[in-house]
Structure 1
Amino acid sequence: MQLNFQKAIAAQPLWLQFVEMIAVVDLATYWIHRAFHQLPWLWRFHAVFIHANLRWRFPGLHRAISTPQYHHWHHATDADGIDKNFAQFLPVWDVLFGTVHLPQGWPKHYWVAHFQPPETYLGQLVYPFRSPGSTPPQD
């Protein structure tokens, strides 16, 4: 038995269903991504997978979609860029929840403040399961 909202969604044009799906998935990934930064036990998993090395600009699009320039600020260790720009695709979530940061230019410093990830692949795989106070394995 279908619920009324399922029937209402099924009656919508396919393009509208697609837009709604993107919005719902993107909102969920915003909060999941933010949780990975806010909860220490999740941060240990996320910290070893930080990469932001494309310097492409998309003038006019950077406020509508998450571009490389937008994402660079998420990985900045510049004080004004820390814990900003969590959106995966649609920066509207950062605007609504007060985490948007997109000045002109690029960050001066990257990576993760106060964290040096293990250098080996195995070290990075094991790191999230180590106790929070332990040091990364030596290479």
Structure 2
Amino acid sequence: MTSVHASSAHPGEQGAEEPIRLLELRATPLSVDEVHRAVGDSAAGGTALFVGTVRDHDGGADVDALSYSAHPSAEAELRKVAEKVVADFPVRALAAVHRTGDLVVGDLAVVVAVSCAHRGEAFEACRRLIDDLKREVPIWKHQRFSDGTEEWVGAC
């Protein structure tokens, strides 16, 4: 999949770096440090970061493993989500990376971060980013349970 490291003016700011710094779906392990570095900005007083991990249970059942699948439009939809967050909040920098493929309990599934001038804005923008990503980006989770059952989450 592709990553974004663009450099263009943010609305209302001449010569500012593009606020959407990293967007990617990948089948390789995620790095909190990579996402945190991507949103570094000297004008940001607050950075909010969310890390989603594979847990060992869901709905009362023990989870052994899971896999994520993404629709071919997922990266374009992720960009739309990111652009909306940037339009609605005073974002200095934004990054979002989501895993695809097979994961085990404890693996990082998604890492998102937002930096803004103030902490409250950063918290709100980060919350919107992860909530909209989970709701709008076509990524599906296939969970396998200890009792031999399985389920798809997010599939239409």
What TM-score results when the alignment is normalised by the length of structure 1?
0.26
Structure with the larger strand share: 2
Pick the structure with greater CA Rg.
Answer: 1
What TM-score results when the alignment is normalised by the length of structure 2?
0.24
Structure with the larger helix share: 1
Of the two structures, which has the highest relative contact order with CA contacts closer than 8 Å and spacing of 6 or more?
A: 2
